[in-house]
Structure 1
Amino acid sequence: MRGLIQGRFWWSADRYVTVKINAIDLERKIAESELDIMQHISRSRLWPEGRHFVRSLLDSFRLQTAHGEHICLVFEPLREPLWILMRRFEDEVLPPQLIKIMLQMLLHALDFLHSDCHVIHADLKPDNVMVRLEDKSLLHKSALDEMKDPAPQKQCHDRTIYLSRNNFGHPGKITGIVSITDFGYAVRGDVPQHGPIQIELWDLMEGDSLFRAAKPMESKYDDEKHLAYITALLGPPPADLLARGRRTSMFCDQQGEPLRDNFSLKRGIFTCDTGKLNNPDLIPQDFSFQNSVNKVDGEDKKMFLTFVRRMLKWQPAERSTAKELLDDPWLGERPK
């Protein structure tokens, strides 16, 4: 939701802002968590380069309505998420050179979040990375367009719902500065965490997910297939890692006995002491890093795969940090 707000003091200029409002009580916990994380980030007194690529919280307030109390977060308006930007390119895939520049910004941002704020975003995907406005006058133009030609709307019994204006059209001049947004699922990294982390940035390069973990013709997530795909790329998971897992017993078969989960009776996907797949048929035989990359070739493909392998490791301690990845040869020189 974008809007024009009056300055708090008479000498403050009017400006456009984005207000994010949690819609229903079911989202309250997420909204409270995001507010806490954003306030925590705002309290950091450090100003490394990466801070410029993390969306800052300008203000917050609580709004009381007939449906209860809503948490409202105030942010700087941004142009569009990466999934809209991707639609402007051939095959809806960003060019590798643009990806390299954006990845450097994102890695700087993640280094700030991880090293200085001890925050893990946990939901980094094209929806939650947005491109900054190349010209803030676009906001005023959009407001005038709304006044002259209001967006479609429908009247409910207690409110009016408007169609979102989420597309400013093709950029009038070069843009590409990005910001990480939406910290609703973010967690603190300086205390133990056990929740899932979802990362979908592979989509930027290939326009598709690396791990096709959904069952054919269904949207339901298949955790067994997901684990099988990962194993196909990385080899068997280390036994000590399996031993530390909180849900290992759902997927490990130590004595060859069937395991029961909430949905069906099945055997474990792994043999615990070796990490070996019990059901290799879960993955295609031709699945590999090499066959999963089609948008680059030659030496660039080789360097890209080396870059990716630095992140995809079973053991967290073996994964390169965001700061270490910034020096990877595939990214090239840092932008001046």
Structure 2
Amino acid sequence: MRSSNLLLGPPFISSKARAMATATSPDLQRLDPSVLIEEEIVPGYKAEDYYPVHVGEIFKQRYKTIGKLGYGSASTVWLCRDLDKQNEFKALKLYINRSKVHRELPIYEHINSLRSEHEGRNHVRKLIEAFEVQGPHGRHICLVHEPMGMSLDEDNSVFTDLERQAAEHPSPCKRADNRTIYPSWLLPLRPGLPAISDLSEARFGESDHTDHIMPDRYRAPEVILGMPWSYPVDTWSLAMVIWDLFEGKPMLPARNPDGQYSERYHLAQLVAILGPPPLEFIQASERSKRFWDSDGNWIAEVPIPNISLDTAETRLDGKEKDEFLAFMRKMLQWKPEDRGSCHDIF
């Protein structure tokens, strides 16, 4: 889920959006319809998949939309006033109408059913309620949460101020494909503890899984090769995220010369970074025959790049670099069972 990346004065819209805006009335500005913004830039975007939310629209006779908080490949998220509660606000997540098999809702329902006193329970986002709405091209599942960074016990004045500012200074918007597209707000940053949220890719652990999970360049080897996967994919994901945040660039671009994701390029880069996979690992996957022969030799029509984990890391030197790479190698292993557990890593 993404949001605009600069915080300005009322109503907290990015400078890029303001630069694109042209005045059409004293109260309303239109964005250049030829410039793609927000969910339009998501790969595979189709306008008819998204519910055409309008600021001020009321859902379930209760949730009045005030402004947009973010977007993603499968949903948009909106700040709403709860008309049934005195001075309370909620975050409303509206899924695209292609979300036929909804994974996130059962996960939240399971979490809500638990009666736990564990100290971490307050760091997992809770679902308030879920419902469906009818859009022009299908039905959309809606999830209602507390806004991130706030609890029912905290002062909601920041949202009251945002509501007032949005009424006095309407956000620039764009008309395209029979829907209005609003730039996302960026709420004021405030210190706080992390929370686990956006569980659309979460799975129950009791069964085997072979579907494609994770953003493409983050995919663990067993996911790329269509093998059953389990908790060790989280260890792999953690390594990818840490690398991205620390190095400021992806470890594995996993793109062909046309800029498209490619499993062959992804695996070739993995071989360069990790070395050849164990033979017993690739023998467990039928799909591996596209990339290796029966002796484990690389046969895909993509060269192994001349890179290594050492050369890819460019921010550290000496002992710090050695320790960081040792930390990464605990998580980056071909065989899932060879990756360190959370206890081993930390």
TM-score by length of 2: 0.61
Preserved contact between residue 290 and residue 300 of structure 2 (Cα < 8 Å)? no
| TM-superposition CA deviations, 1:110-133 (whole Å, max 9, x none) | xxxxxxxxxxxxxxxxxxxxxxxx
Distance 1:232 1:6, change over 3 A: same
Q: CA deviation at 1:211?
A: 0.8
| TM-superposition CA deviations, 1:178-220 (whole Å, max 9, x none) | 333322232222211112332441211111111121013x221
**Aligned partner (choices 274, 279, 285) of residue 234 of structure 1:** 274
- Show the counterpart of 2:254: 213
Distance 1:51 1:301 in 2: 35
Q: CA deviation at 1:37?
A: 1.8
Q: Does 1:302 align with 2:318?
A: no
- Show the counterpart of 1:319: 339
Distance 1:49 1:302 in 2: 35
Identical pairs, percent: 30
Distance 1:190 1:281, change over 3 A: same
Distance 2:301 2:275 in 1: 12
Distance 1:311 1:157 in 2: 45
TM-score by length of 1: 0.63
| Counterpart AA for 2:263 | D
- Show the counterpart of 1:19: 92
- Show the counterpart of 1:271: 293
Q: CA deviation at 1:41?
A: 2.5
Pick the structure with more helix per residue: 1
- Show the counterpart of 1:223: 263
- Show the counterpart of 2:203: 187
Distance 1:219 1:57, change over 3 A: farther
Distance 1:234 1:165, change over 3 A: closer
How many positions carry a matched residue from both structures? 240
SS at match of 1:178: coil
Preserved contact between residue 129 and residue 145 of structure 2 (Cα < 8 Å)? yes
| Counterpart AA for 1:188 | F
Unaligned runs of at least 5 residues, structure 2: 1-77, 219-239
Q: CA deviation at 1:150?
A: 0.9
| TM-superposition CA deviations, 1:142-181 (whole Å, max 9, x none) | 222111111123457975x251333135x3x5x2533333
Unaligned runs of at least 5 residues, structure 1: 80-133, 252-269, 329-336
Preserved contact between residue 64 and residue 70 of structure 1 (Cα < 8 Å)? yes
Q: What do you get for the CA RMSD once the two structures are aligned?
A: 2.7
Distance 2:301 2:141 in 1: 47
Distance 2:301 2:322 in 1: 27
Distance 2:341 2:282 in 1: 23
SS at match of 2:133: strand
- Show the counterpart of 1:250: 290
